[in-house]
């Protein structure tokens, strides 16, 4: 038995399911998760001494590679001055100014401790600002484990929200309207019915929690228009896409200006950080300027700010994005070619530093429904073939892949070579 499997068995006794976040348990692919001991650059090393080329990157924050010296040194230096003060600090101002400088639509920003806190707070702010209760989200988009957002649609058509976790009151879930991603007609139909009751639309501008599904041309523009027409707040959840699709996120890449933006992952450089920001007029409704309450003992934590600021400062070198994007397209084209050689139908999607591949005959995948219809057995087989060959992909068919800026040409070639063998192994 591997040391990872031993630890996983031990963990089941003291931690629910043996993990502190469900997807880590490998339920989506079967088998035991790897327990990681350390990581550096593009690589993770598990407790059994196996090296992996990592395409998860701690689910996004490791865009500059694991253990980046500038980020690590900034965190250590800050820790030497004290771990938390519960008072304002200069570095919070620097962090806010940095985010405002980089993200086009943000005029004011509030730091929080996770992506979930960011979306929860943004939703409350949108409701408080518009004095409306309903919110609109998209099937297959994940915005953290906020009660109002853990709601999914029925079969394609609009449903008044049904919670998809016990513990969420139906009274609350009924305010969440869920429609299909990339289906503007459905959005317009819902707004024609409930337009003056809807506080906001929240969307992942590139969906990364149903594999990787970019917006169809006109979709984000249409959401902007619908919100303008009905006085609703447009929230881009850029927890995944922020600083990854482009320095200024998907809003910069697609040229759309949301009212509020949620950030997370990358802005902490690996520390637990999130943020939400946007139009000054809306942000001023947050306490203490305004009546909408939002707070956090550890928000703006000095060590997290130091790590995050170092990460964002390093990311201002735009040439790094060019390299990352080239690696993504090389990897996905390599997968496509390797799958074709093995006779395995495969469709790929990618934007910026995000990618996804689907075991399907479809020529393009643009919806949650299509993502769920893919060949899961083949994905699971492929996953384990890759893992055995030292390639660490997200252990779920519904997660996007993340490239870092330090994956090398050799890493990509090694990954494609592994994929060639893995596709051959799962070919029918
Ligand atoms: N929003 C998006 C788009 C996410 O992908 C996630 C997490 O994966 C979240 C929000 C929640 O962030 P966190 O896990 O930091 O609470």
d(CA 63, CA 405): 6
Look-up of token digits 């090296």: 51
Known catalytic membership, residue 43: no
Ligand 1, atom 5: nearest CA belongs to which residue?
240
- Cβ(237) – ligand 1 distance below 6 Å: yes
- Cβ(399) – ligand 1 distance below 6 Å: no
Query: 367 - beta bridge partners?
Result: none
Known catalytic membership, residue 55: no
Domains of the chain: 3-67+317-426 (3.90.1150.10), 69-315 (3.40.640.10)
pLDDT band, residue 173 (cuts 50/70/90): confident
User: Angle 391-396-397 (CA atoms, 0-180°, nearest 5)?
Assistant: 100
Torsion region of 305: left, alpha or beta (phi above 0 gives left; psi -120 to 50 gives alpha): alpha
Query: Which residues, 6 or more positions from 13, have their beta carbon under 8 angstroms from its beta carbon?
Result: none
Query: 419 - beta bridge partners?
Result: none
DSSP 8-state symbol, 18: G
Mean per-residue pLDDT, 233-254: 97
Summarize pLDDT for 339-381 with one digit per residue, the tens: 999 999 999 999 999 999 999 999 999 999 999 999 999 999 9
Residue 13 has pLDDT above 50, yes or no: yes
Ligand 1, atom 10: nearest CA belongs to which residue?
143
Known catalytic membership, residue 363: no
- Cβ(238) – ligand 1 distance below 6 Å: no
Least confidently predicted of 155-164, 385-394, 405-414:
155-164
d(CA 213, CA 207): 5
Percent of the chain past pLDDT 70, that is, above it, reads: 97
pLDDT at 168: 85
Summarize pLDDT for 404-415 with one digit per residue, the tens: 999 999 999 999
- Cβ(240) – ligand 1 distance below 6 Å: yes
Quick check: 368 and 181 in contact, CB under 8 A?
yes
CA of 119 to the centre of ligand 1 (A): 8
Ligand 1, atom 8: nearest CA belongs to which residue?
144
User: Which phi and psi angles does 269 have, rounded to 5°?
Assistant: 60, 15
Q: Which atom, in ligand 1's list, is nearest to the CA of 274? A: 15
Look-up of token digits 């007609």: 185
Ligand 1, atom 13: nearest CA belongs to which residue?
115
Ligand 1, atom 9: nearest CA belongs to which residue?
144
- pTM score of the predicted model: 0.96
Residue 143 has pLDDT above 90, yes or no: yes
Least confidently predicted of 144-153, 262-271, 309-318, 345-354:
144-153
- Cβ(144) – ligand 1 distance below 6 Å: yes
Mean per-residue pLDDT, 222-238: 98
pLDDT at 156: 34
- Cβ(204) – ligand 1 distance below 6 Å: yes
Closest CA to 296 of 319, 274, 320, 269: 274
Summarize pLDDT for 287-321 with one digit per residue, the tens: 999 999 999 999 999 999 999 999 999 999 999 99
pLDDT band, residue 158 (cuts 50/70/90): very low
Closest CA to 200 of 277, 264, 266, 260: 260
pLDDT at 163: 62
Residue 150 has pLDDT above 90, yes or no: no
- Cβ(385) – ligand 1 distance below 6 Å: no
Pocket test for ligand 1, best of 21, 63, 112, 115 (most atoms within 8 A of CB): 115
Quick check: 335 and 348 in contact, CB under 8 A?
yes
Residue 418 has pLDDT above 90, yes or no: yes
Summarize pLDDT for 110-141 with one digit per residue, the tens: 999 999 999 999 999 999 999 999 999 999 99
DSSP E strands: which ranges in 271-408? 274-278, 347-351, 354-358, 391-392, 401-402
pLDDT at 167: 87
pLDDT band, residue 159 (cuts 50/70/90): very low
Closest CA to 240 of 270, 264, 218: 264
Which of the following is catalytic: 98, 137, 265, 380?
Answer: 265
**Is the omega angle on the peptide bond into residue 301 within 30 degrees of 0, that is, cis?**
no
Which of the following is catalytic: 43, 52, 55, 142?
Answer: 142
Residue 43 has pLDDT above 70, yes or no: yes
Q: How would DSSP label each residue in 293-320?
A: ----TTTT-HHHHHHHHHHHHHHT-THH
Residue 24 has pLDDT above 80, yes or no: yes
Percent of the chain past pLDDT 90, that is, above it, reads: 91
Torsion angle of C-alpha atoms 385, 386, 390, 391, degrees rounded to 10: -170
Mean per-residue pLDDT, 20-24: 91
User: Angle 189-371-221 (CA atoms, 0-180°, nearest 5)?
Assistant: 40
d(CA 136, CA 133): 10
pLDDT band, residue 39 (cuts 50/70/90): very high
CA of 315 to the centre of ligand 1 (A): 20
Residue 159 Cα distances to 136, 231, 366, angstroms: 11, 22, 20
- Cβ(181) – ligand 1 distance below 6 Å: no
Summarize pLDDT for 89-115 with one digit per residue, the tens: 999 999 999 999 999 999 999 999 999
CA of 121 to the centre of ligand 1 (A): 13
CA of 144 to the centre of ligand 1 (A): 5
Residue 162 has pLDDT above 70, yes or no: no
Axis-axis angle for helices 302-315, 90-102 (nearest 10): 30
DSSP 8-state symbol, 388: H
d(CA 265, CA 238): 10
**What is the H or E stretch that residue 377 is in?**
helix 376-388
Pocket test for ligand 1, best of 240, 264, 396 (most atoms within 8 A of CB): 264
Which of the following is catalytic: 46, 54, 183, 237?
Answer: 237
pLDDT at 148: 83
- What tokens appear for 204 in the block? 């992942």
pLDDT at 428: 77
CA of 286 to the centre of ligand 1 (A): 22
Q: Which atom, in ligand 1's list, is nearest to the CA of 21? A: 14
Quick check: 95 and 313 in contact, CB under 8 A?
no
Least confidently predicted of 139-143, 183-187, 271-275:
139-143
């Amino acid at each position: 038995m591997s040391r990872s499997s031993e630890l996983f068995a031990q963990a089941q006794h003291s931690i629910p399911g043996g993990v502190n976040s469900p997807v880590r348990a490998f339920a989506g692919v079967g088998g035991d998760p790897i327990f990681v001991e350390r990581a550096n650059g593009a690589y993770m090393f598990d407790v059994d001494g196996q090296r992996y080329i990592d395409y998860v990157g701690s689910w996004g924050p490791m865009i500059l590679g694991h253990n980046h010296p500038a980020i690590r040194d900034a965190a250590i230096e800050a820790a030497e001055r004290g771990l938390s003060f519960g008072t304002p600090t200069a570095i919070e101002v620097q962090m806010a100014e940095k985010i405002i400088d980089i993200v086009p639509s943000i005029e004011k920003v509030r730091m929080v401790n996770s992506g979930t806190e960011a979306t929860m707070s943004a939703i409350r702010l949108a409701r408080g600002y518009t004095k409306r209760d309903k919110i609109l989200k998209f099937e297959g988009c994940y915005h953290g484990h906020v009660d109002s957002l853990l709601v999914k649609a029925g079969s394609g058509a609009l449903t008044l929200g049904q919670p998809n976790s016990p513990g969420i009151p139906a009274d609350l879930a009924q305010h969440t309207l869920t429609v299909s991603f990339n289906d503007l007609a459905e959005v317009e139909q819902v707004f024609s019915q409930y337009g003056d009751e809807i506080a906001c639309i929240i969307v992942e501008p590139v969906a990364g929690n149903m594999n990787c599904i970019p917006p169809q041309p006109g979709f984000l523009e249409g959401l902007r228009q619908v919100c303008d027409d009905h006085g609703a707040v447009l929230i881009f959840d850029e927890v995944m896409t922020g600083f990854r699709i482009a320095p200024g996120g998907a809003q910069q890449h697609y040229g759309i200006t949301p009212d509020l933006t949620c950030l997370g992952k990358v802005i902490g450089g690996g520390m637990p950080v999130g943020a939400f920001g946007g139009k000054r007029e809306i942000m001023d409704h947050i306490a203490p300027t305004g009546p909408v309450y939002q707070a956090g003992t550890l928000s703006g934590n000095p060590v997290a700010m130091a790590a995050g600021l170092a990460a964002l400062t390093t990311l201002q070198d735009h040439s790094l994005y060019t390299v990352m994007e080239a690696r993504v397209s090389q990897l996905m084209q390599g997968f496509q070619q390797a799958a074709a050689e093995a006779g395995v139908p495969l469709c790929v999607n990618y934007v910026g530093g995000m990618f996804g591949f689907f075991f399907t005959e479809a020529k393009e995948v643009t919806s949650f429904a299509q993502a769920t219809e893919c060949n899961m057995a083949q994905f699971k087989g492929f996953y384990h073939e890759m893992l055995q060959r030292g390639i660490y992909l997200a252990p779920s068919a519904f997660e996007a892949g993340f490239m870092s800026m330090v994956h090398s040409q050799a890493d990509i070639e090694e990954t494609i070579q592994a994929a060639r063998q893995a596709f051959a192994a799962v070919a029918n």
